[in-house]
Structure 1
Amino acid sequence: MSDTNSDAGADGPLGGLFDGLSRRSSDLLLVFGALFAIYALFTIFVFGQGINSVVSTLRFLTFLILVYGMLALALNLHWGYTGLFNIGVAGFMAVGVYTMAMLSGDPAGSPPGLGLPVPIGIIGGMVAAALVGLVAALPALRLKADYLAIVTLGLSEIIRLTYNSEAFNQWIQGATSTITSRVGFLPDGGAGTGAGSGIQVPSPAGPVRTLFFEGGRAGNPTPLGDAVFAVTDPIGIQQNVVVEWAYVLVLAVVLLGFYWLLSRIGNSPFGRVLKSIREDELVASSLGKHVEIFKVKVFMLGCALMGLAGILWQGSFGFVSPNDFMPVVTFYIFVAVIIGGSGSNTGSIIGSILFVGLLFEGPRRALGALGNRVDFGRAPNSFGDAVAPILSGDITPFFAYAVANRSALVFVLLGTVLIIIIQTRPDGALGGRNEPAAAVDLSTRPEKQPTTATDGGENQ
């Protein structure tokens, strides 16, 4: 009897806990293993250029991985969890960044802002992105698959072109000026978008900078800055790189928050309904679930997260323009999700690591490092002129062309890799790991024990 109880306990709550911890440990190993492999590769690219160059390169690489990871997780909530084909991610990013800039921008700037604290601007940007998501969701979610994709792509372009419009800039500045004139604590003049000239954004990295420099200005370190710089200055790491790494650590915490939130949603009753909608919308509706309401809610939540990721990414540069939110940005995010495997939160992060490291930055850095070390001579004027000498055994012109046109060749590489992935591993690197609709692992259910029937036999 004791043996039976112990086996049951192993398969009970404790067994489930250990299985969960083991799965999470395996995911962490996958993520950190991929990250360290990319780190080693990029260290080779900048080897010999000094420690500051290595640290700065790894900082930029990690920054891109984290922001793409946030956006991939937000998109996974739409596509991987609920089956909503949203290819308007860049538009919702733009709404978040521009709203934050208008709320927290300098009232004396050009265009002016309302001068509200940055945290209020960030919250306002998320709310605005969610509301635009609501406006998009109400008519669009009656559509499915490709039709929803076309609508969201069109909406993203409408948003970008609207922010690029001088007429909209003047209208929104006049409308906000009317409002602020009636509110005592807001400055007169309203807030504009800057149209095609772009807009200044109060960087969310500013509060991090004040931890190291008094007033956020270099040259006057705080006690924390003195302590940190006393370690980094002697080994040749610039102070600005240290501050940028601190902001990267903040982004890492935010990414963990995204992951935790989506994991909680996935294991909640709300998340189980989302997964049932993904698997079969008709069945979910027949069980009494208001499918349209669930779609609207998850669409708004995902758009709010996209707005926040846009603020932390593009807003950290201190300036944005409509051209920063071209449809290709959405394409990149989709590539990251596809590589990792839709429906898997861990896959979204690993996909971001592989996309940034091997497809987006990797080829550029590799060809750049090759061009710095080897003199291939003058690059041919066309791709045909670069390929033709290969037939005679001369590959130098091709490498010279590749080094000179490495940014354009990234798109060729992306297309080739996508074709290979879709043909050989359509489920991504973590294929088949999409979150199940059930909150528990049904494959580990204990076998039903036979009971004794009244006639002395066994009931099954």
Structure 2
Amino acid sequence: MSDTAGSLRRLWEQDAAKIVALLVVIYGAYLVSGLILGYSIRGQLNSLASLTFYIGVFATLALALNLHWGYTGLFNIGVVGFMAVGIYVMAFVSKPLYGTTGAAQVGGLGLPIPVGILVGMLAAAALGFVVALPALRLRADYLAIVTIAMSEIVRFTFLSSTFQQFQFPHTLAGDTTRVGFGGGSGLILDFPDPLLAFIDVVGLSGAYDGLVALVGQVVANNPDPIVHSLVYGVVLLLVVAGYFWLLKRTGESPFGRVLKAIREDEDVARALGKNTDRFKVVSFMLGCALMGLAGILWLMGQGAVTPNFFRPRLTFFVWIALIIGGAGSNTGSVLGGAVFAAVLYQGPLYFQNVVTSVFQPGEAPSSFGPAVSPLISGFDPMPFLLYTLDSVRQLQLVIMGVALVWLMHNRPQGMLGHRKETAAAIPLGRPGGDAGRSGGSDTDADAEPTPKADGDGSGGERRE
């Protein structure tokens, strides 16, 4: 029995086990809620596909933000600006060519989608470079002002009629082709389906067709959209795994150790001979490129994109996800993205539907006055509760704000508590000692972390 308990304890110490356990709980809760709501198999699959999609996009964005704030201490609240640049530049590069007449929508350069994705990431990184240069000497709060101002400048630029459409010389389309960013009406993303193109490139089209046929035996009516959504969600989870691996390797590298030293005390890192400005710029550009890719993955399969999608509140959603998991922890970023997507982003609507289905509470008042007056005059709370339940979607931001305030007061270190960070991929202590153990980041809610230092910088726990 003790051996089994020890094995389970060692398994639970692995970060992958925590992520898998949380996902099992989340998917189980959504399946139960679907059964309560009487969803068909199609409805259950659509629900899981939507949940997987939002877990994937919020986890990728939280990981990218963790490189800025958790690793380097850069206070970036302009995440949506880099997402917008990524998807708009990708659309500009990869949308089909249109002539100057005969098409209502503006076109693009008609280059392959992988080229568009790469150029979109490079454009987001270039914007990060432009933003980072004047912000190098700014304190955290001033950097925050610069980044949020940049995100609004980007949004209003894409809204502007100046860049809505313009003529572009292109020999393949004759004399000119009409390109642009669509202005306030947005862009129709009418390039070939990126998921199917990716499946063809990796040689899995036969497996995809087999999955469609298998789902078609259960869902007879048009299984293609369901399979497409589920597979795209799985691809996003693979992207999350790729982000996780990249940031883990970055954190364990000499470059990552310098970033952590800058986060803890930039003056000390500079005194050790490190060019902290260069490290901050490179870190900022890398994080911005990852945010641009996340924006591309979020929207390139949606069929259209509009500038007003990239409002500042989306940035604060990503910050909430990072705070839930804990800044400085890649595992916490994934867990925070999953919890935010399942509980705070999708959860209120499911809660409303489940309560309505189980209790059949009746019709809610149409406005705030009729909901409050019975509570004041006759101490009858039911109309107010019904009105609140009916308005849960409008109250979603309030719920997020309350959750954020509670977290900052009661759990500022995130879900996993205080964590020991490894400063390198190899043991740095004496053989046989505690410091000589290798592995991932060990969870220890009570013990104080022991920073490890070398010639490149220092590790240690992120202090909030």
TM-score, normalised with respect to structure 2: 0.82
* Corresponding position of 2:77: 87
Equivalent residues of 2:96, 2:110 under 8 A apart: yes
Equivalent of 1:408, from 380, 386, 394? 394
1:316 pairs with one of 295, 298, 301: 301
Contact conserved, 1:163 with 1:196, CA < 8 A, in 2?
yes
| Alignment partner of 1:145 is 2:140 | yes
Match of 1:334 in 2: 319
Distance in 1 (CA, whole Å) between partners of 2:406 and 2:428 is: 33
1:377 Cα deviation from its structure 2 partner: 3.1
Which residue number in structure 2 is paired with residue 233 of structure 1? 216
Change (3 A) 1:200 1:146: same
Query: Shift of the alpha carbon at 1:439?
Result: 5.2
The 1:447–1:342 alpha-carbon spacing in structure 2 relative to 1, beyond 3 Å, is closer
2:285 is equivalent to residue 300 of structure 1: yes
Counterparts of 1:28 and 1:201 in 2: how far apart (Å)? Answer: 36
Structure 2: gaps of 5 or more residues: 1-6, 435-464
Question: Larger helix proportion, structure 1 or 2?
Answer: 1
Query: Whole-Å Cα distance in 2 between the matches of residues 136 and 84 of structure 1?
Result: 12
The 3-state SS of whatever aligns with 1:371 is helix
Cα shift at 1:336: 0.2
Deviations 1:49-69 (A, max 9, x none): 211111110110011001111
Q: Is the 8 A contact 2:325 2:416 kept in 1?
A: yes
Q: Deviations over 1:125-180 (max 9, x none)?
A: 0010000111111101221211100110000000000000001334xx34xx1xx3
Looking at CA atoms only, which structure, 1 or 2, has the larger radius of gyration?
1
Is residue 2:32 matched to residue 1:44? yes
Equivalent runs, 1:140-219 vs 2, <5 Å: 140-170=135-165, 173-174=166-167, 177=168, 180-181=169-170, 188-202=176-190, 205-208=193-196
**Number of positions where the alignment pairs a residue of Structure 1 with one of Structure 2:** 413
Pick aligned residue for 2:336 from 333, 338, 351: 351
What whole-Å deviation, never above 9, does each CA across 1:231-272 have from its counterpart, x for those lacking one? 212222733101221111221221111111101100000000
Distance 1:23 1:85, change over 3 A: farther
Cα deviation for residue 343 of structure 1 reads 0.3
Distance change >3 Å, CA 169–CA 93, structure 1 → 2: same
Letter in 2 for 1:33: A
What CA distance in whole angstroms lies between the structure 2 residues aligned with 1:396 and 1:150?
44
CA contact (8 A) 2:11 2:17 kept: no
- What residue identity is the alignment partner of 2:387? Y
Q: CA deviation at 1:201?
A: 2.2
Cα separation, partners in 2 of 1:446 and 1:121, compared to 1, 3 Å? same
Q: What is the aligned-residue identity percentage?
A: 45
Tell me the amino acid that sits aligned with residue 43 of structure 2. Answer: S
Query: In structure 1, what is the Cα distance between the partners aligned to 2:198 and 2:275?
Result: 48
Report the Cα distance in structure 1 between the residues aligned to 2:294 and 2:145, rounded to whole angstroms: 23
Matched residues in 2 for 1:339 and 1:186: separation?
Answer: 54
Deviation per residue, 1:260-312 (Å, 9 max, x gap): 11011000000000000000000001101011101110111100000001000
State the shift of 1:210 in Å. 8.1
Asked whether the equivalents of residues 204 and 311 of structure 1 are also in contact (C-alpha less than 8 Å), the reply is no
Question: Which sits farther off after the overlay, 401-410 or 235-244?
Answer: 235-244
Give the TM-score normalised by the residue count of structure 1: 0.83
Provide the secondary structure at the position in 1 that maps to 2:258. helix
Kept in 2, the 8 Å contact 1:364–1:410? The answer is: no
